[in-house]
């Protein structure tokens, strides 16, 4: 079955360390996104990528980095520069083409990152 897979489900990091969250999709979608969700709040866009080897900053990109070397993969690195990294991270994707903005977004099950 097609879908988006995020791993790991839970992640613990010590302060000062970088950590990378995985997001893989086999939906053949061109566009992929990373969101952050804090308790009781909606989602805020960190980075997004419309095609391979291209990505743009979202609303809260500081302290994060991404790469898009393959169509199916969009890993997110939470760097030590991110001041408040403990949160729930969600990856999403949408199909390709000029009409992609009119299509549904599909989400992974999320990764809960805790800084200890």
Partner 1 sequence: KQEVTQIPAALSVPEGENLVLNCSFTDSAIYNLQWFRQDPGKGLTSLLLIQSSQREQTSGRLNASLDKSSGRSTLYIAASQPGDSATYLCAVRTNAGKSTFGDGTTLTVKP
Task: Report the interface residues with partner 1, using CB under 8 A.
Answer: 6, 31, 33, 35, 40-45, 48, 50, 56, 58, 88, 90, 92, 101-110, 112
Cα separation, 82 vs 15, in Å, equals 10
Q: How far is the CB of 65 from partner 1 (least distance, A)?
A: 18
- The strand pair at 31-37 and 76-78 is best described as unpaired
Cα separation, 26 vs 1, in Å, equals 9
Q: Nearer to partner 1 by C-beta: 28 or 56? A: 56
Q: Nearer to partner 1 by C-beta: 18 or 26? A: 26
Long-range contacts from 43-46, C-beta under 8 angstroms, 24+ separation = 43/90, 46/76, 46/89
Q: Nearer to partner 1 by C-beta: 15 or 104? A: 104
Q: How far is the CB of 56 from partner 1 (least distance, A)?
A: 7
Nearest to 100 by CA among 31, 51, 53: 31
Cα separation, 64 vs 24, in Å, equals 18
Q: Nearer to partner 1 by C-beta: 72 or 80? A: 72
């Amino acid at each position: 079955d097609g879908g988006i897979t995020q791993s790991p489900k839970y992640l613990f990091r010590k302060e000062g360390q970088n950590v990378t969250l995985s997001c893989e999709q086999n939906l053949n979608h061109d566009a992929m996104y990373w969101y952050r969700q804090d308790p009781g709040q909606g989602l805020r866009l960190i980075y997004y990528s419309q095609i391979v080897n291209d990505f743009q900053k979202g609303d809260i990109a500081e302290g994060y980095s991404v790469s898009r070397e393959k169509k199916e993969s969009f890993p997110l690195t939470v760097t030590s520069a991110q001041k408040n990294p403990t949160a729930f991270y969600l990856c999403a994707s949408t199909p390709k083409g000029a009409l992609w903005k009119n299509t549904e977004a599909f989400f992974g099950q999320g990764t809960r990152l805790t800084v200890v």
